[in-house]
Amino acid sequence: MAYGKGKNKDLMKRMADLGTFPVSADLVELRSRIICTLDKMADAIWPSNILRPRPSGKDIDTVLLKVQSEVSKNGLNNVWAEKARLIAKAAVVEQWKRGQHNLFGRFRNVATVGDTPMDDGTQRLVNLPEEFSRTLTIADATALQTVAARRDFAATLKLFRDLGDSDCGFHPHQASALRAMADFVRTRFNRPVWKDEAVIQLHLDYRCLRGGKRVLEASLWDLDTAAKAGTSRRAALPLTSVSPRGLGISIPIRLSRSVATKIGDDPDLRVAALVVELGMVNGQAKMVVTQPPKIAAAADLSTVVAEDFGFRNTSSIAVLRNAHPIGETALERISGHNGGDARKVTKAASRKFLTEHVSGDDVELLELVQFDGKDFLNRIAAQAKKVDGLRSEIDRLYNRLDRIRAEINMVGGDVATALVPEAAALTDHSRYMAMHGRFFRLLTAIGRLKEKRRAVYEAVAGLKKSWFGHVAQRKANLAEKYGAAVVSEGLDIVTIETDDPAYKGRTFNKMINNGSKGQYNLRSENTLKWRGIASVKVPSFYTSSTDWRDGTVDKAQRSGSVFKAASDGRKWDADLHAAEMIGRYLFLRPKTGIQAEALQAAA
């Protein structure tokens, strides 16, 4: 295995670019046969019902190894068949797991309604198929919510499996709603499919190269040496043939000087593995670089890079230097926010501390930096507009679907809200058949629109990943420049309120708040650990509404983008003021001590 069969779990890993290359005829064949194998393997282990308990990895391998053996007998080199097995297993298990957890989450929040009513004024039950928002009462939804609250993950899945045979004590329409919820999840989380444009990522071990261990170790050593020296390197990787005893496949690799320099010359760094990604037209070679996490200590540092995270301004940073280094007392006070044993600072305790402590001229402001998120937010807003348009079209089609269903059920003698069977009940009734065909054509059209909506959300995820990564790197650069610790708030989620100028609607808010703070924190913390930069979190309470000069804590001091001190009317940019307050948090001193020093100086 490329990562040493789990031996390097404690190491941090990074991918580094080794250049692109055109996909040759041999690589086209290899990629095509691997995709074909992936489909066969996924078919072999994908469950008939996603609600079934997931089998052990050993049981899955028992099935997949039979497919691997068959594929190898049909001419695919066994090493590539094994790579396909690992890819298929991971993809199927992840999709299976995501589907089950999605159903569990929907059931646990079954009574949740959307902020905006549907076109006909009905409140939408966001976790049920949209037609049930019109047919289930709030009392129905509340009753289901009560049942959901009493069941854990395993009991929830068992309930949905049992609903396949009976109503399980629910009212028939409630049971139908839950079956429809499960059907929706099954449809959304179906078997993984590797489309024509799929990129196949192959982690290479020695069997993937002609020459085996000798060639792999020599290639890794050569790249490792070049990376640590900050020099470029060109070479060729001799891949094993597509079929046994066939001709090898040569792949060019190139480590550029800029990539080598960026990696650095840390003695603990290792080029640990090689990866090849095969697309339809081009391929890309990469190397996996590992090193232990560099857990740096903030104690005894006197400079901090303090950050306030937001949306209009993604990151507002104040670089501060204190006359004295960060003390153990200050770090102990906030240890609960940094994984320590101490309890987290409460809101009341935080307010008391801030009103009794101040910061003076012993703290020097070295630099202010702000990463304007306007373009980022505008691109998110454009995607949100697309989703709103798609949602409107979906709602319109559901309205038509409801009318057609009512007519179908009237002809068939059922209640208007009954589910329409996939197999037509009245095949000799022309009007019924026409309506039945139109119903399922509309249902297919809705499915396509929902697929487009999911693609928009994927695009938003890519935007956030790119922008947050850029900001995290720039912040780390500042910390290295000043030899500083990074200080930020111990805050999980930042929400844009409806009366905030940055609020652009429910869809926008959902897109921007969906894990944004967590994504940025994870990316930032990993970057800091990789580069050996100390990181500290302070309590978030009142950092935006405190004047550090006199200990005044008053939310009225912040209004929109401006912080105006209550004592003398001095103004700051609100986000930069918050960043400076976060940075000064570790250097605050008791008011009495400051006052005593002032009196002594005056004397």
Averages of pLDDT over runs of 10 residues in the chain (603 residues) are 53 92 95 96 94 93 96 95 96 95 93 76 81 83 92 94 91 90 89 90 95 95 92 94 90 94 81 95 95 85 91 86 89 70 67 91 92 83 86 86 87 80 84 90 89 86 84 92 90 46 50 60 85 89 92 92 92 93 92 56 46
pLDDT of residue 289: 94
Cβ neighbours of residue 376 closer than 8 Å, sequence gap 6 or more:
314, 463, 467
pLDDT of residue 396: 86
Say if residue 87 is in the same domain as residue 120. Answer: no
Say if residue 311 is in the same domain as residue 248. Answer: no
pLDDT of residue 242: 94
Say if residue 342 is in the same domain as residue 235. Answer: no
pLDDT of residue 156: 95
CB 23 within 8 A of CB 277: no
CA 126, 132, 137: angle at the middle one, nearest 5? 95
Give the end of a domain, one of 464, 493, 528: 464
User: What is the 8-class DSSP label of residue 500?
Assistant: S
Distance CA 586, CA 301 (A): 11
Using alpha carbons, list the distances in angstroms from residue 9 to 3, 291, 550.
9, 11, 48
Q: Is residue 249 part of a domain?
A: yes
Q: How many CA atoms lie within 13 A of 348 on its CB side?
A: 0
What is the distance of C-alpha 300 from the center of its chain?
A: 35
What is the number of other CB atoms lying within 10 angstroms of the CB of residue 555?
Answer: 10
What is the number of other CB atoms lying within 10 angstroms of the CB of residue 204?
Answer: 22
Give the end of a domain, one of 135, 153, 188: 188
Q: Is residue 317 part of a domain?
A: yes
User: What is the 8-class DSSP label of residue 149?
Assistant: H
pLDDT of residue 427: 82
pLDDT of residue 510: 57
Say if residue 478 is in the same domain as residue 445. Answer: no
Q: Is residue 225 part of a domain?
A: yes
Say if residue 74 is in the same domain as residue 211. Answer: yes
| Residue with token string 């790579």 | 83
Q: How many CA atoms lie within 13 A of 316 on its CB side?
A: 21
Phi then psi for residue 48, to 5 deg, are -70, -25
Q: How many CA atoms lie within 13 A of 600 on its CB side?
A: 6
Say if residue 26 is in the same domain as residue 85. Answer: yes
Query: What is the token pair recorded at 52?
Result: 């079934």
pLDDT of residue 36: 95
Using alpha carbons, list the distances in angstroms from residue 213 to 160, 218, 219, 276, 402.
50, 8, 10, 17, 64
- Give which of 283, 326, 330, 333 is closest to 305, Cα–Cα: 326
Distance CA 78, CA 242 (A): 9
User: What is the 8-class DSSP label of residue 419?
Assistant: P
Q: Is residue 4 part of a domain?
A: no
* CATH code, domain carrying 477: 3.30.420
Q: Is residue 296 part of a domain?
A: no
Say if residue 70 is in the same domain as residue 125. Answer: no
Say if residue 259 is in the same domain as residue 398. Answer: no
Say if residue 32 is in the same domain as residue 162. Answer: no
Question: Which parts of 150-298 are beta strand (E)?
Answer: 200-204, 233-239, 249-255, 270-278, 282-291
- Going across the sheet that includes 571-573, the strands are 558-559, 562-564, 571-573
Q: Is residue 76 part of a domain?
A: yes
Number of domains in the chain: 4
Say if residue 259 is in the same domain as residue 217. Answer: yes
Say if residue 209 is in the same domain as residue 82. Answer: yes
pLDDT of residue 496: 45
Distance CA 490, CA 284 (A): 39
Secondary structure percentages of the chain, helix, strand, coil, to 5: 50, 15, 30
pLDDT of residue 138: 82
Q: Is residue 17 part of a domain?
A: yes
Give the end of a domain, one of 410, 445, 464: 464
Distance CA 546, CA 111 (A): 39
pLDDT of residue 2: 41
pLDDT of residue 341: 45
Distance CA 191, CA 527 (A): 35
Q: Where are the alpha helices (DSSP H) in 318-373?
A: 328-333, 347-356
Q: Is residue 1 part of a domain?
A: no
Say if residue 147 is in the same domain as residue 216. Answer: no
**Domain encompassing residue 257:** 12-96+194-291
